[in-house]
Amino acid sequence: MFDVIERLKAEWTDKYVVIDSPAPELSRFAKTTGTVRAVNMNGRCLVEFDQFNNIAWYDIDPSHLKVVTEPLPKPEKQAKAKAAPAAKTTSSKASSTQKKSTADILAAARGGGSKPTAKPAGKLSTADILAKARGAKSPPPPAVTDPTPDESALLEETIAADETPEQDESPQAKEPPAGELPTTTAEKVAWCRQHDAQ
């Protein structure tokens, strides 16, 4: 038995193989090339297939394999999958070189040219900016008013306050003094009971 295994090792190890079987469990390896990495002690080949970045070794009977001299071309899906990141990289580089500045984008959105408008030489007030935006001249500065009140107005208020008649306070309105107020807690409780009962 060992002689047979050694002969299989010499015959199959490091050979390129393809699947040569209608077995449905092996159909996933169709159109791909495998490399026989070893032959195990039950006489089956351990094959590593070059697909989907898979480095696993599959235990396959030699009767399902066929030796080829060179690897088959990879399926289109793999080629497209590898070409897609390269295309994305080149397109991102191209877009980055053609990337516009924020001022250019805003100018294009407003319908103007790509050059940003020049800043005015002097600093404008908010009122001036709003006036220019409305298309009018800048408004005149507001008149400064004296914050001190008029003396004649103060005099009139004082005279009016002096002329108001004082209200007569009737003797009934004033409450006579209640005498000495209680100071201790016991006196306060007694005073409240006495006055609440009235």
pLDDT tens digits, one per residue of 138-178: 555 555 555 555 555 555 665 555 555 555 554 444 444 55
Q: What is the pLDDT of residue 163?
A: 56
Per-residue pLDDT tens over the stretch 10-55: 999 999 999 998 999 998 888 889 999 999 999 999 999 887 778 8
In this structure, the dihedral spanned by the alpha carbons of residues 33, 39, 45 and 46, taken in order and rounded to 10 degrees, is -60
56, pLDDT greater than 50: yes
Q: Residue 49 — left, alpha, or beta (φ > 0 → left; ψ -120 to 50 → alpha)?
A: beta
Question: What's the rounded Cα separation, in Å, for the pair 5 and 46?
Answer: 13
Among residues of the chain, what percentage have pLDDT more than 90? 17
Question: What's the rounded Cα separation, in Å, for the pair 184 and 182?
Answer: 6
Top CATH class of 1-96 equals mainly beta
Task: Write down the mean pLDDT value for the chain.
Answer: 74
What is the residue extent of each domain of the chain?
Answer: 1-96
Question: What's the rounded Cα separation, in Å, for the pair 156 and 148?
Answer: 16
Please choose, from the candidates 39, 40, 42, 47, the residue with its C-alpha nearest in 3D space to the C-alpha of residue 68.
47
Question: What's the rounded Cα separation, in Å, for the pair 93 and 85?
Answer: 12
3 and 41 Cβ atoms separated by less than 8 Å: no
Among residues of the chain, what percentage have pLDDT more than 70? 59
